[in-house]
Amino acid sequence: MEPGFRSWVEVSRRRVAANYAAVRSAVGDQVEVACVVKADAYGHGAVEVSRTLAEAGARWFAVSTAEEGVELRRAGIEGRILVMADYARLSREALEEYGLTLVVHSLEDLRELDAFAANRDIRLPYHLKVDSGMGRLGTLASAAVIADTIQSAANLEFEGLMSHFASASDYASAQTALQSRAFEALCRELCARGFLPRFRHIASTNPVAYGRRDAWHNMVRPGLALYGYISPARGDAPSRILEVEPALAWKATVISAKDVPAGARIGYGGMYTATRPMRIAVVGAGYADGLSHRLSNRGQVVAAGKLVPILGAVSMDVTTIDVTECPSIVPGSSVTLLGAEGAVTIDAQQMARIAGTISYDILCGIRARVQRVHIA
């Protein structure tokens, strides 16, 4: 596909839908799936991805901010939208207007949200987040205090109780088991006090992929799996029960190609020196597009079905590659930064290992000026 852009990503709707179906099949009909589409669906385009997921049967969507939820509503997304990491005072106006469901992280926020609902004479659903051991968002209050606060919030509906794992892919650590037990204990204590929310959820992609069924409760929140990735497990992990495929390919156009002699210095700082006569190509993507500067002199791209190295520094707007063995590459040709050409593949996890980061960072780092093209 040659859409005529300087740099673009192609997102496969078919693969997004298939990945959702794989998650849906893995957890079964008794577990709800809240599709995490925050951060512009991890760089895949939140509106189009959410439409695809809705067509595939998704009923819940999870975002980070109220603004992200409003964007989906304005685009016609009708499912439930869970706002997971916003500041309650900034998001509560949108809850009523756009039918969003807030995750509340503290009992003080819960009381203020109740007062807001009372002043508007409305009733709002919410999910309460508890800190089960990650040390980030969520209340650390006891079950007794939580129950008293829920009881007093007469204008709110306690619909969900949630938490978040810190080390779900690390089977050499006891942290996930400890968090899971803490969350289950709190669920039992609240139930004993008469508060059993409709949804209980703590698991994201990895607890689903590696079959931590005791952590699924009756809702899971897959994010990365929807886009075709599962973080590698550490330690003595069980076999995966979930297989998915990357939905995104990132491509760029060759702006220039030329022959350089041995000894030619390439890019800022002369970071690379040609060891032989070479043919180089300059492609229209750099760190301002999200191609990590850490890939300088280390990364690779796929050109004419071959892995070729990045030469010298990744610049703000362009990157130089070695196309000596790719005579078909000329100005106007495309190369693949992420994705496959035939049997040759570069995926976000491979790129992340070279750049010293994680696949989430690679995907979410693809900037807005890179065109999104959604294909069948």
What is the spatial distance between Cα 90 and Cα 118, in angstroms, rounded to a whole number? 17
Closest CA to 182 of 200, 163, 203, 166: 163
Q: Find the distance separating the first CA and the last CA of the chain, reported in whole Å.
A: 12
Closest CA to 287 of 252, 335, 257, 258: 252
Is 287 tagged catalytic?
Answer: no
What is the spatial distance between Cα 275 and Cα 306, in angstroms, rounded to a whole number? 20
185 Cβ neighbours under 8 A, 6+ residues apart: none
Which SS3 state, helix, strand or coil, does residue 11 take? strand
Q: How many CB atoms lie within 10 A of CB 235?
A: 10
Is 268 tagged catalytic?
Answer: yes
Q: What angle do CA 62, 67, 73 make, to 5 degrees?
A: 70
C-alpha count within 13 angstroms, C-beta hemisphere, residue 302:
18
CA distances from 374 to 8, 45, 109, 203, 250 (A): 10, 8, 39, 29, 12
**Helices 13-27 and 46-55: crossing angle, nearest 10°?**
50
**Active-site position among 20, 38, 42, 360:** 38
272-273 and 265-266 strand pairing: antiparallel
**Active-site position among 42, 126, 251, 268:** 268
What is the spatial distance between Cα 127 and Cα 139, in angstroms, rounded to a whole number? 12
What is the spatial distance between Cα 183 and Cα 195, in angstroms, rounded to a whole number? 14
What is the spatial distance between Cα 270 and Cα 298, in angstroms, rounded to a whole number? 15
Q: Which residues are catalytic?
A: 38, 268
